[in-house]
Amino acid sequence: MQSPYKNYIKQEVEGATKGKLVLLMYDGAIKFLRVAVKAVNENNIPDAHNNIMKAQNIIYELMSTLNMEAGDVAKNLMRLYDFMIWQLVEANKEKDNTKIESVIKLMSSLREAWKEVVQKEEGSVKQEPEETKSINFAG
């Protein structure tokens, strides 16, 4: 018998739009990276490695879903995802939480942007002040 939580997640994924699936992927990557940070702090190298790898796999999946014919947005996302993978490879080798945290920040910013897209798709956009919408990719 499936737990209520697993059943809920299964229903959430099966009924999700493409936009919601992307949000779920961001959520998963961010969750795994936070677990990796905790594992690094506890010097639990196997858990740190495994969770970084799980996040990388999600980013690779996000990369594979990009429509490169869609233009500059897809190309810029590909560059960002590539940068995140590079940061995570380095973080995994060095067990460096600053690199993991930088990827968490990028993923969180992208997740917020996707959340707005999903809300627009659903017609339930809540207007936010302009200064909270900007994303600084320079760091």
Query: Residue 136 in 3-state DSSP?
Result: coil
- So what's the pLDDT on residue 37? 98
- So what's the pLDDT on residue 137? 45
Average pLDDT, 10 consecutive residues per value, the chain (139 residues) = 57 65 94 98 97 98 90 92 98 96 97 89 58 45
Nearest alpha carbon to residue 59 among 104, 117, 121: 104
- So what's the pLDDT on residue 77? 93
In 10 A of CB 16, how many CB atoms?
14
Which residue ranges form the domains of the chain, and what is each CATH number?
4-121 (1.20.120.340)
Nearest alpha carbon to residue 108 among 135, 128, 77, 69: 135
With 0.85 as the threshold, say if the pTM is over it.
no
